[in-house]
A and B are shown apart, each in its own frame.
Chain A
Amino acid sequence: MHYVSAGPGEAHGHTTNWGDVSMIRFLLAVLAVAVVLTGVYVVGRLIYDIVQLIGERRRSKNDAALPPLWRDVKALGIAAQIGVLAIIVAVIAYLRSNFLTRAEDIGLNLSFDFLDQPAGISIADNPLGPNDTVSEALTQGFLNTIRVILIGIPAALILGTLIGIARLSSNWVLQKLATGYVEFFRNIPPLVVIIVMWRVVFLEGFPRSQEAWKPLGGWFIFSNNRFAFPSLLGQDNFDAFRLILLLGLLAAAAVAVWRTRVFNETGSPHHRVLWGVGTFVGIATVAYVALGAPIATSKPALDEAGRVFSGGLRMQMPYAALTTALVIYTATHIAEIVRGSILAVHRGQVEAANALALSGFQRYRFVVLPQAMRIAFPPLINQFLNFSKNSSLAIAIGFSEVTSLVNDLFGQSQPAPQLILILMLFYLTLSLVLSAVGNLINRRLQVVGR
């Protein structure tokens, strides 16, 4: 018998992502611990308050001014807390007993063992196979959700900011166009925007892949199945080149810092962006030539039958439709926030900038926008959260993000209550992480504001 050990190239054959089984179970455990800790904290606080109150009343027992217990504001406050707590506990207990009774009646399986069962599904453009486990499938769905968010939120922020500024423009046409855009898309439910974008623009607007549209000599391929763009592909010495690029970035940052220091000391123009970019491009060019062209462009291709896309950067049509629709929808809300925040910047600031003879761009870049963004950021976090949650509407147009995937799993007889719980946990974690990041940035912004 001949035994062949897997070479380094074959090691990546199977997709195991950062311990997915443990990730989902870890999330569930964190949820349980959080619930218990919150309960202990609330009850503990309540008991502490009661002990305080008793002590206080005992100490001042002989004080004639002491109100009777039913008129003591502190006592009433504690009673109110106990009341609210009792209502919450009663409601949860009722729902729980209702659910458990029904589950027992029909014999519902409430364990989480299904996570290690084969999921029996596959996803477009994903190595996930039908024999991979449920938790691997959930992880891949979650990653697809994140792919939408990573591209979508920055795009929505940029588009929204531009539209918000355009709404305040003195150019009549631009201003009315921006207003029309905002008022139109802001007042349509996101699901409708998504379905119309998918159906009218992408599905009917692009040819089928057998008749794909290949502009610019085939460097771009557009069809209502997939899009493909040219991309860069690493060749020999690519790892070394990547390392040198990283060093180049560090060097560029160092140069920029040096120019800033020169500016602070002498007052001569710093041009730090120009210097930094110049340094980086210079290093990159030298390395590219020295290492013998370590990267090449990759041209996308499509086979005769119009089925197999290869090379380049490929994108599923539903992904493009979903991301575009959500960016267009969310950008309207962001535009309104940005517009409001710009208007909230004190007029004296603009007048001062004008008095310094700053150009229109400089006025926005250095005076208005930094202050406006400080005001805009907290409500913007809200929009980022809405964006991430609205991505679940992809289920209507066939993009396999995590909600759509959970629906697939329902069809494979995987238990719905547990899957819904895990789905809620995913979105909860995502939202908490997003708002934590947002709050960190916000705090930085506020510190600068003194």
Chain B
Amino acid sequence: MRKHWILRLVAVFLGFTLLAAACGNDSSDGDAVEQDGGDTGGDTGGDGGDTGGDTGGDTGGDTGEDGGEDTVDLVQGGSVLAKVQDAGVVECGGNDTLPGFGIVDADGAFSGFDIDFCGVIAAAVLGDASAVNVTPLLAAQRFPTLQSGEIDVLIRNTTWTASRDGNEQANFLHTTFYDGQGFMVRDDSSIATLADANNASICVLTGTTTLLNLNAVLADRGIAFTPVTFESNDELNPAFQAGQCEVWTSDASQLAAFAATMDIPTRILPEIISKEPLGPVVADGDTQWAQVVNWATMATIQAWEFGINQENLSSFTDSEDTNIRRFLGLPIVDGDGNESIAEVGLGLPTDFAWNIIEQVGNYEDIFNRNLAGIGLTLAGSPNDLWTNGGLQYVPPFR
């Protein structure tokens, strides 16, 4: 009696799984087809002023199709902007071991230059700079994580290179920090220039362009060396301090950041062997999201150029300058007395720049808040504004 009951249960279960499997196959095929159709439509429709309309259509269609299955939406493409607005949070890939740029404190709170730019994007898109979820990533993990769609944007002292643009399906946006690869030694070391480092052991992080530069440049200059590669600065830092390697190579800003926290006196060699432009990165295939992240980032620099910062922002509500009013999303009065608010059609709210400056600040605010403490100065560096002879130059906001 009992046995029959069990067998029947098994049969029912099997029938059910068979059915489920069959349905699963059907629906996934269907999804794929629909998705393709949707993409084609969007592409042919052009990407001019219809961005807002497209977003609405996509969101509606998606929710209608598969209800609560967010994962399917996320993985199978669609608009990242709509996903972020829907979730109410920006998923940001960051660093958790680099003082000044991205570091986590004892309470699990992230802070730093890169982390602030995550906040800039959240302030622009969602109007709330704290609506950020930072995922700490190791160097080697960051591109696979970005490719998988697990994070919306990667801001983790990541160098813009051709092979990453090409091979990693990464879309690099406006450079937030111009850096270069440098070398650090103990103060009592016999190494004065790079040429003295022949045969030395050099500590370097795995999964970085630093290792590639190191190999290429030192091979060209005929300098032999032993690479000692670590996955994380948590191990590399003690290895350098204990003298397992004589030289530590990394982006010069990182070396400065670590030197500031070290007990032993150190020295940075005069050579900078590479260009390392660091900035936010998004995955290929979503131009709209890339534009949103790009313009949100550049707004901090435009604000700096206009002289608008976190403190004096409120004094600009009655600014006479049309460009500033346009930038901040303030109403512009024409000759007939009609008020209008400029709409640039990026899919961002009209007051996105206002929110960014109010909640996070302009570029100078962000730089001084995070990097002044580790001994980096803005004035005279490549990161200064173009009007001061630096490299920070952004297209006009109109």
Contacts and interface: CB of A to CB of B under 8 A. Distances in A.
A126 B203 CA distance: 16
Contacts of A70: 11
A122 B215 contact: yes
A69 to B, nearest CB: 11
A102 B74 CA distance: 9
B147 interface: yes
Interface string B2-18: 00100100110110011
A411 B208 contact: yes
Given A204-B242, A224-B243, A90 B226 contact: no
Interface stretch (B99-107, B164-172, B250-258): B164-172
B76 interface: yes
A303 B224 CA distance: 15
Nearest to A129: B219
B207 interface: yes
A130 interface: yes
- Greatest chain A CB density within 10 A among B22, B190, B229 is at B229
Interface in B1-60: 4, 7, 10-11, 13-14, 17-18, 20-22, 24-25, 28-29, 32, 35
Given A86-B21, A407-B207, A413 B228 contact: no
A407 B21 contact: no
Interface stretch (B120-128, B230-238, B320-328): B230-238
A76 B7 contact: yes
A214 interface: no
Q: On chain A, which size bracket covers the interface? A: 35 or more
A121 B212 contact: yes
B229 A108 contact: no
B266 interface: no
A108 B285 CA distance: 11
A208 B243 contact: yes
Contacts of B317: none
A102 B77 contact: yes
Contacts of A397: 230, 235
A304 B126 CA distance: 61
A408 B229 contact: yes
Interface string B123-146: 000000000000000011101100
Nearest to A108: B169
A307 B199 contact: yes
Contact of A225 (B206, B229, B244): B244
A71 B35 CA distance: 44
Contacts of B231: 395-396, 404, 407
Interface in B201-241: 201, 203, 206-209, 211-212, 215-216, 219, 226-232, 235-236, 238-239
Contacts of A297: none
Contacts, number: 177
B161 interface: yes
A349 interface: no
A12 to B, nearest CB: 19
B235 A398 contact: yes
Interface in A211-266: 224-225
A411 B211 contact: yes
A195 interface: yes
Nearest to B188: A210
Nearest to B197: A307
B239 A398 contact: yes
Given A395-B231, A407-B140, A413-B161, A102 B11 contact: no
Interface class of chain B by DSSP = helix
Contacts of A86: 17-18, 21-22
B390 interface: no
A105 B77 contact: yes
Given A106-B169, A107-B285, A93 B28 contact: yes
Given A199-B238, A225-B201, A98 B14 contact: no
A303 B219 CA distance: 22
Nearest to B210: A411
Contact of B206 (A71, A97, A404): A404
A203 interface: yes
Contacts of A87: 17, 21
B18 A416 contact: no
Contacts of B338: none
B162 to A, nearest CB: 9
Given A101-B76, A124-B227, A90 B24 contact: yes
A428 interface: no
Interface stretch (A77-85, A161-169, A339-347): A77-85
Contacts of B76: 98, 101-102, 105
B168 A413 contact: yes
A189 B275 CA distance: 41
A107 B147 contact: no
Contacts of B198: 307
Contacts of B139: 411
A412 B229 CA distance: 14
Given A107-B285, A408-B211, A203 B201 contact: no
Interface of B: 4, 7, 10-11, 13-14, 17-18, 20-22, 24-25, 28-29, 32, 35, 75-77, 139-141, 143-144, 147-149, 161, 163-164, 166-169, 190, 198-201, 203, 206-209, 211-212, 215-216, 219, 226-232, 235-236, 238-239, 242-246, 283-285
22 contacts: A80-B14, A93-B25, A101-B32, A101-B35, A102-B147, A105-B76, A106-B284, A108-B169, A123-B227, A130-B219, A203-B238, A395-B206, A395-B231, A396-B230, A396-B231, A396-B232, A398-B229, A398-B239, A407-B207, A410-B143, A413-B163, A413-B167
Interface of A: 70-71, 76, 79-80, 82-83, 86-87, 89-90, 93-94, 97-98, 101-102, 105-109, 114, 120-125, 129-130, 195, 198-199, 203-204, 207-210, 224-225, 303, 305, 307-308, 317-318, 395-398, 400, 404, 407-408, 410-417
Given A307-B199, A397-B230, 15 more contacts: A70-B11, A102-B149, A106-B284, A124-B228, A130-B212, A130-B216, A195-B235, A204-B242, A208-B242, A303-B199, A305-B200, A398-B229, A398-B230, A411-B207, A411-B208
